[in-house]
Amino acid sequence: MVRTGTNVKPKKKKSKFRKEDLPLYVMASPTLVYLLIFSYAPMCGLIMAFQNFNIQKGIFRSPLVGFKNFEFLFTTSDAWIITRNTVCYNVVFIIVNLIISVSLALMLSNLRSGLYAKTMQTIYMMPYFLSYAVVAIIVNAFLHRDHGVVNSILRSLGQPGKTNWYHQIKIWPPLLVFVNAWKHVGYQTVLYLAVISSISVDYYEAAVLDGATKWQQARYITIPHLRYIIGISLILSMSSIFRGDFGLFYTVTMNSGMIYPVTDVIDTYIYRALTYLNNVGMSTAAGFYQSIVGFFLVLIVNSIVNKIDPDSAMF
């Protein structure tokens, strides 16, 4: 028989919070507070991209001007040059740094001496911690007109040795690629080495028994295991493809006007323009534009990677 009229209490849902997870929440709280203060709260300032910002009236009382601040990026005569330089440099940086860092990681992983491998890792990693102000001083030590190493070598070889390298357009594209790789490849190499160290030794032992060479081991074992981190790195790098490294293109080049055609990017152009115009709305519009384009590029590249290799995609 079915009993009726009885008070059936609904089952209480189990709480997802567990006491043993409390230390994890405490450890994560500083990062969450940092993100809320410095990443999410400033998003209210995006409204300045659509305003004629007046510091006396503040953010919420300044008059709206629609998309006029965005016209600064698209109507200028240098729009094509700065966009071309920004995108092309970032594409080259991604490709060159990826090839060099993977190659170095493969070579270091095959070194028999652990001490030598760690020493080389430290040497590769050191430039990553240098600021671009220090990098600019190092580059200037080589390219200085009177006391630079390059001109000193040329004079010792009987050449005039009075070239002002900060006026030579042709040398700067490959030089900037070299400086960027020198500074950032070490960090990526250590990242790939960490992945390689997690690969089971059984794969390599089986390959050796089958007579595989070092190149075949790298091709069929190591590189396939790296494809996940490589895919994620490529996807994340797409978010900044419309952002120029300000320190590299402004500090290292000493802001030389003679080489603007090959060193001027969106960030440096806006900085110089705002130095004279002092228009905060234009700066906000430029940052907003770069973020939106980067966001959609991440989605597009992730969808492409997802179709090629779903395991290498972020989502």
Cα separation, 21 vs 28, in Å, equals 11
| Domain presence at residue 301 | yes
pLDDT in tens, 237-279: 888 888 888 999 999 999 888 999 999 998 888 888 778 777 7
Over residues 46-60, the mean pLDDT reads 86
| Domain presence at residue 151 | yes
Over residues 49-54, the mean pLDDT reads 86
What average pLDDT does the structure give for the chain? 85
Angle (nearest 5°) at CA 136 between 148 and 248: 135
CATH classification of the domain holding 152:
1.10.3720.10
Rounded-to-10 torsion of CA 224, 229, 231, 236: -170
| Domain presence at residue 13 | no
Residue 42: CA count within 13 A, CB half-sphere: 8
| Domain presence at residue 11 | no
Confidence band, pLDDT 50/70/90 cuts, at residue 96: very high
Note the pLDDT of residue 1.
46
| Domain presence at residue 19 | no
Domain that holds residue 300: 70-312
Instruction: Assess whether pLDDT exceeds 80 at residue 314.
Output: no
pLDDT in tens, 187-216: 899 889 888 888 888 888 898 888 888 888
Name 64's bridge partners: 51
pLDDT in tens, 113-146: 778 888 888 888 899 999 999 999 999 999 988 8
DSSP per residue, 167-205: G-TTTHHHHHHHHHHHHHHHHHHHHHHHHHHTS-HHHHH
Cα separation, 210 vs 204, in Å, equals 10
| Domain presence at residue 123 | yes
| Domain presence at residue 52 | no
| Domain presence at residue 23 | no
> What amino acid is encoded at 50 in this protein?
F
Confidence band, pLDDT 50/70/90 cuts, at residue 89: very high
Instruction: Assess whether pLDDT exceeds 80 at residue 13.
Output: no
Angle between helices 280-308 and 223-237 (to 10 degrees): 150
C-alpha to C-alpha distances, 89 to 133, 172, 208, 256, 295, nearest whole angstrom = 20, 11, 41, 18, 19
Note the pLDDT of residue 305.
83
Percent of the residues in the chain that have a pLDDT greater than 70, as a whole number: 95
Over residues 220-231, the mean pLDDT reads 88
- Structurally, how many domains does the chain consist of? 1
C-alpha to C-alpha distances, 35 to 129, 166, 171, 257, nearest whole angstrom = 23, 40, 41, 38
Residue 51, SS3 per DSSP: strand
